[in-house]
Chain A
Amino acid sequence: MKTAVMLLTTATLALSAGAAMADTSGKRIALSNNYAGNSWRQAMLKTFEETADQAVSDGVVAAADAYTTSENQTTEQAAQIQNMILQGYDAILLNAASPTALNGAVKEACDAGVLVVSFDSIVTEPCAYRIAVDFVEMGRQEVEYLSERLPEGGKLLEIRGLAGVSTDDAISQGIHNGVEEFPQFEVVGSVHGDWAQDVAQKAVSGILPSLPEVVGVVTQGGDGYGAAQAFAAAGRETPLIILGNRQDEMAWWAEQRDANGYETLSLSIAPGVASLAFWVAQQILDGEEVPKDLTVPFLKITQDTLDEQLASTPVGSVANVAYTLEDAKAVIAGAK
Chain B
Amino acid sequence: MQTKYRILLPLISLAVLLAATFWMQPRTMSYFGVNLLFNLAVPIALATIAQMMIIMVNDIDLGMGAFVSLVACVVATFLQDTPVLGTIMLIGLILSYAAMGALIHRLELPAIVVTLGMSFVWGGLALFILPSPGGASPGWLRALMTSKPPLMPMAVVAAILFSIVTHLLIMRSGIGTVLRGVGGNTRAVQRAGWSVIWLKALAYGLAGLFAVLAGMALVGLTTSADANIALRYTLLSIAGVILGGGEFIGGKVSPTGAVIGALTLTLASSFLNFMRLNPDWQIGAQGAILILVLTARLLFAKREART
B25 close to A102 (CB less than 8 A) = no
B229 close to A98 (CB less than 8 A) = yes
A103 at the interface (CB under 8 A from B): yes
A69 at the interface (CB under 8 A from B): yes
Picked from B28, B39, B228, B276, the residue with its CB within 8 Å of the CB of A73 is B228
- Contacts of B221 on A, CB cut-off 8 Å? 78, 104
Per-position binary interface string of chain B over residues 213-232, scored 1 when its CB falls under 8 Å from any chain A CB and 0 otherwise: 00000100111111111111
- In the bound assembly, the distance between CA atoms of A4 and B229 in angstroms comes to 64
Q: How many A-B residue pairs have CB under 8 A?
A: 112
B270 close to A83 (CB less than 8 A) = yes
- Shortest 9 CB-CB contacts between residues of A and residues of B: A100-B224, A70-B282, A82-B36, A103-B223, A68-B279, A169-B132, A101-B222, A98-B133, A70-B279
Per-position binary interface string of chain A over residues 72-87, scored 1 when its CB falls under 8 Å from any chain B CB and 0 otherwise: 0111101110110111
- Contacts of A168 on B, CB cut-off 8 Å? 132
B108 at the interface (CB under 8 A from A): no
6 contacts between A and B (CB under 8 A): A68-B279, A82-B36, A83-B37, A83-B273, A86-B274, A104-B146
Shortest distance between the CB of A37 and any CB in chain B (Å): 11
B131 close to A104 (CB less than 8 A) = no
Interface residues of B, Cβ cutoff 8 Å to A: 25, 27-28, 32-33, 36-37, 39-40, 43, 127, 131-135, 146, 218, 221-233, 266, 269-270, 273-274, 276, 279-280, 282-283, 286
- In the bound assembly, the distance between CA atoms of A74 and B68 in angstroms comes to 14
- Given A79-B270, A164-B228: A101 and B37 interface contact (C-beta under 8 Å): no
Interface residues of A, Cβ cutoff 8 Å to B: 36, 65, 67-71, 73-76, 78-80, 82-83, 85-88, 98-105, 107-108, 112, 163-166, 168-169
A100 close to B266 (CB less than 8 A) = no
- In the bound assembly, the distance between CA atoms of A104 and B231 in angstroms comes to 19
Most buried by B among A71, A87, A104, A105: A104
A103 close to B270 (CB less than 8 A) = no
A100 close to B231 (CB less than 8 A) = no
- Contacts of A78 on B, CB cut-off 8 Å? 40, 221-222
- In the bound assembly, the distance between CA atoms of A320 and B223 in angstroms comes to 35
A108 close to B36 (CB less than 8 A) = yes
- In the bound assembly, the distance between CA atoms of A68 and B276 in angstroms comes to 10
- Given A67-B279, A75-B229: A103 and B274 interface contact (C-beta under 8 Å): no
- Contacts of A73 on B, CB cut-off 8 Å? 228-229, 231-232
Picked from A65, A75, A108, the residue with its CB within 8 Å of the CB of B232 is A75
Shortest distance between the CB of A1 and any CB in chain B (Å): 49
- In the bound assembly, the distance between CA atoms of A100 and B232 in angstroms comes to 18
- In the bound assembly, the distance between CA atoms of A166 and B269 in angstroms comes to 27
Picked from B132, B225, B269, the residue with its CB within 8 Å of the CB of A79 is B269
B286, closest chain A residue (CB): A70
Picked from A67, A88, A103, the residue with its CB within 8 Å of the CB of B222 is A103
Shortest distance between the CB of A79 and any CB in chain B (Å): 5
Shortest distance between the CB of A132 and any CB in chain B (Å): 15
- In the bound assembly, the distance between CA atoms of A146 and B133 in angstroms comes to 30
- Contacts of B27 on A, CB cut-off 8 Å? 86-88
- Contacts of B134 on A, CB cut-off 8 Å? 99-100
- Given A68-B279, A82-B36, A86-B33: A74 and B226 interface contact (C-beta under 8 Å): yes
B40 close to A82 (CB less than 8 A) = yes
B133 close to A164 (CB less than 8 A) = yes
- In the bound assembly, the distance between CA atoms of A101 and B132 in angstroms comes to 11
A71 close to B133 (CB less than 8 A) = no
B37 close to A86 (CB less than 8 A) = yes
B233, closest chain A residue (CB): A75
- In the bound assembly, the distance between CA atoms of A110 and B2 in angstroms comes to 48
B132 close to A75 (CB less than 8 A) = no
- In the bound assembly, the distance between CA atoms of A87 and B228 in angstroms comes to 28
14 new A-B contacts at CB < 8 Å, known A73-B229, A75-B222? A67-B279, A70-B280, A75-B43, A75-B230, A78-B221, A83-B37, A86-B274, A87-B25, A100-B133, A103-B224, A107-B223, A164-B127, A164-B131, A168-B132
Shortest distance between the CB of A30 and any CB in chain B (Å): 11
Most buried by B among A71, A79, A99, A101: A101
Shortest distance between the CB of A222 and any CB in chain B (Å): 19
Shortest distance between the CB of A108 and any CB in chain B (Å): 7
- In the bound assembly, the distance between CA atoms of A80 and B226 in angstroms comes to 18
A74 close to B222 (CB less than 8 A) = yes
Shortest distance between the CB of B189 and any CB in chain A (Å): 37
- In the bound assembly, the distance between CA atoms of A163 and B36 in angstroms comes to 30
- In the bound assembly, the distance between CA atoms of A104 and B131 in angstroms comes to 21
- In the bound assembly, the distance between CA atoms of A104 and B280 in angstroms comes to 26
A76 close to B232 (CB less than 8 A) = yes
A164 close to B283 (CB less than 8 A) = no
- Contacts of B222 on A, CB cut-off 8 Å? 74-75, 78, 100-105
A74, closest chain B residue (CB): B229
- In the bound assembly, the distance between CA atoms of A83 and B272 in angstroms comes to 10
Shortest distance between the CB of B29 and any CB in chain A (Å): 10
Shortest distance between the CB of B32 and any CB in chain A (Å): 8
- In the bound assembly, the distance between CA atoms of A97 and B279 in angstroms comes to 16
- In the bound assembly, the distance between CA atoms of A68 and B279 in angstroms comes to 6
Picked from B37, B231, B266, B273, the residue with its CB within 8 Å of the CB of A67 is B273
B232 close to A166 (CB less than 8 A) = no
- In the bound assembly, the distance between CA atoms of A102 and B27 in angstroms comes to 22
